[in-house]
Structures are given as structure tokens and as C-alpha cells.
Structure 1
């Protein structure tokens, strides 16, 4: 009994990621499916980056944002999928505490960066549709690169802040994480210390890195839709809408799944549903982004 209590109050050196559940008969099919998804995601996004870099006529702010997004999606999917693939292949679900913190840091950094990058892309769409005569003067190369750099810097800063506070709390008791990657809420559930400070910090950071860029994106698209509806010609309206439709689809998929994951109550019956939506926005979103932009763009 004493040994059990002592173990419960000893910080673990590693965690056990439960992944998608105990499904031994589906290990190989899931591994093959995820491997195909990962390869298609990486190849598709890298191809877009290469095309944007090599093709001179694609050296515009819009395609610079797209190339940056594709590069980000490659790194984004690489924070979770390789580790998940390895666990399916070897059966080893253990991850060190430092490795878990590193995975959380990079994952949250890429999520925050993508939120701001999607916001910058919506601003680009707003200028192109709502203020076309001022587009060239306002969306210069300098402004474009500043928006891209700011997106990355904000992502790095807010993720480092949350990770620093998260790494200071004590973990004890069960060392199993009922998830397929090291996310904030599953990690917080393993803590045996006061988490009020890190919860407050994460709330502030979530507002700055997710809610704020979401609201700016929403405002941009309200203005875009209002402008499109005022166009008298139906052909011109269709052309204007097709300009921003790809980005609008990507934004909708990303934010809908993101909000569902983090607004769902963390109760046992909803835990598996939470993992399904987490799988969607962490694995499938980077996969469909290059497909959506490729299918909607000559």
C-alpha cells in the first residue's frame, strides 16, 4: 500500500499513449491507412511548395501564403503521425515526458501559426475582392513577408509560454494518456498539483492564438460576402466567389473540428468522439488542404 502511494506521487519518466484504443486485429490495416495518408499529405504539400518556388508567375502574395501553408501542414502532420505509425508497427506506446512536452510544443506552435496564417490569407482575399484597386499598394511583398513571419513568431511564442507553465506542474498517478498524441487536456488530467495558473495562461493564449485570428477571419469573410452580393452580374459574383472558395472551405473545416474538440466536455462517453475529431483536424486537414487548393486552382 505504501509503495502504491509512493508511486502515485512520483513524477513518471514516461507516459503511455493509448492511441486509438486496443484493436490488435486492426493494427496492420490502420498502419497501412495512416502510412498512405501521411505519404500523400507530405508529397502533396511539398509539391505545392516546389511549384510555388519554381514557377515565376506564382511569385505573388497569394501563392506565397499558400506555399507557406503547405510547408506548415507538412510539419504539422509530422508531429503526430510518425509516432502513431511507429506505435502501430512496434506496439510500443511509451513516450518520454520530455518527448511528450516537445510534441505538445511543436503541435501547439503549428496550430497557432496556422490560425494566424489563415487570418492573413483571409485579409489577402479581403483586399483582392473588396479593395482591388488598392490591393497592389497594400499587399506588397514586404507586408506579405511580415504577415508570414508574424504568424510563425506568434505560434512559437504562445506555444513556448504554455509549454513552460505545463512543464512545471507535477504528474503522478496513472501515466496513461487516453489519446494518440500529447494534447493539453489529457496531460492536465494527469496532474496532481494546482493547475489553476496553467489553465488561466492557456485560456489567455487560446484567445490570442485561436479566437482572435478566428474573429478577424470571420470579419474579413463577412465583408467579402457582402461585397460579392452587391455585384450586379451573376458571372462576376461566381468568379469572385470562386476566388476565395478554396480558402473558405479550408478555414471552415479547420475551425469547426478545432472548436468541437476543445469545446466538447471531457467526459468518458465523449472521449472517443473527441479523439475522432482530433484525428480529423490533426491528420485529415493537412491531407485535404492541398487537394482542395489543387482541385479549385488551375
Structure 2
């Protein structure tokens, strides 16, 4: 199974408010990593993603912040910047370092407290707790995550954070073969249901009897015309990390390929109600030449499979919370 921290140079820190049911997950790469991003959903909440454009100046990021609290939760990234700055990590300028911390948020205000959200202090504390262990399920940014919201949060199921990793042999530009690691971390907070091997494992649900109602089936019924899903309350966020050498353009391509995992594991995906965003990071030394097109394609294929597994785990490892059942206890929330 593994986790994203199997990739050299990556650590993960998480904090949560178990009363307000919100939190943040910080993917730290303080020594710097080449970054890319692909925003596929139509309701994203992001910060500093323009810096990841291959045509822009900054070549490395120092952390990715995934936060609850909708747009308010972007404040947690300021705390991440403060921690990195205190430790001397960041983009070097004439007047000190400036940490580069792209961030993205999910909407979890409908499950816990609408008045509380991840703030600067929560982001800072998450950095102090960062390590190699990734707690899955209802931790960090996954504390208030849910899935299957065609009929509103009251018919959804609990989800959370999931992570996985894999390895792959690739040929270097000089012909040498080398094994690389690719890892994925995700928070699944989707409009659609989550599938494993073409079977629904969590999503739209009748809480009274624990029956999964199948969002795709409901969309085909005439009764769906009377439904009015709440806009902007869903988003699946993911980070792909690897020690394979990439430049900014190939990191973005890796993120684009990994987005296919969301389409394969979640149905429907990339709707007008989702803000699906995937980041990609390469921690390889700058001296290494970037992968050739075939190597990048192979890496993207493996990254997609790792992200699919992470999405499944984000559902299977979640516990009931906020009155929502989970795949662990489908018949009742706690």
C-alpha cells in the first residue's frame, strides 16, 4: 500500500478540529520540489497555482496545503509559510526567503461548524507535526469530507484522506535503468459515488437502512429533475509526488494524467459542482535530466493507479462523523 511519504523529501503533517469537523493536511517538501497542477473541476478554491505555470519564474515549491473551510481555509497556508520561513526554507530574494506554498480547499462547512475553519495557527502546527506517517480516513483535511451529495449532505457518506505509493523502473536519458517511487495523497469530497472494481463502495446513501442509492442511476430517473444540488460543496484534491526527475511542464503533464484516476474512481466526476485539483511534485535533484516522453507516460500511468488506490482508501478508512455513516459502519452515523 505505502504512502506519499515513501517518496524521498516528502513529509506530511495534519491537524484537525474534531468539534468543528474541519482540518488541514500539509505536504512538506522544504528543500524544494518542482511543481505542476491540473485544475479540472468547475468550482475550485486555490492559491498560488499560477506560479506553477511552466512559463513563470519560480521553479520550486516548498509545501502544498490542502485545507477544509472553503476559501476561508486558505488562511492555513500563511501558517505554513511562517514555519518554513522560520527554518530558512523558501525562494531566495535579496531581502530574505519567500516560501512558495500552493494551496487548495474543500467545502466542509455543511457537516460541522460553518463558523470555524483552518487558520494560520492550524497550518503552522501541522508543519511541526510533519513526519513519515500518514493517518488516513477522518484526519486532517479529511475530517469533514463526505461523498455522494446529489441529494444534499443529509444523504451522503463520510470519507477522508487516503494515500498509496508504487515503484517503477524507468530508463534514464543516458540509457541507465533506475527504480523510482511515485506516491499519491487525496482527500475525497465528491459530488459522485466512489467505486472499486466497478462496484460502489461509498456515496449517495439512505441513512435509515444503509442502502447505497447509486448516483448514476438516480440521474437517469425522471425524479432527478426535482433535485437542486448545492453548488460548490464538493472537491477532490490530490497530490502526486515522485523522485523521478521532472521539469515544470512534465510535472503538469503528470498531474493531468493523474486526474484520470478521479474519473475512473468517482462517478460522476469533474462536474459543475466539483473543484477537482491535482498537484504534482518532483523531489529529484536539479542536476538530473527530465524523463523522456515515454518515461513520463509510464510514470503517469503508475501515478494514476496509485491515486485510484488512495481514493478507495480515503473511503474505506473513514469513520462515521457528523451524523454520517461510513463504509466501515454503513447503517448509522456516530
TM-score (norm 1): 0.29
TM-score (norm 2): 0.27
Q: Determine which structure has the larger strand proportion and give its number.
A: 2
With CA pairs under 8 Å and 6+ residues apart, which has the higher RCO, 1 or 2? 1
Q: Rg bigger for which structure? A: 1
Q: Determine which structure has the larger helix proportion and give its number.
A: 1
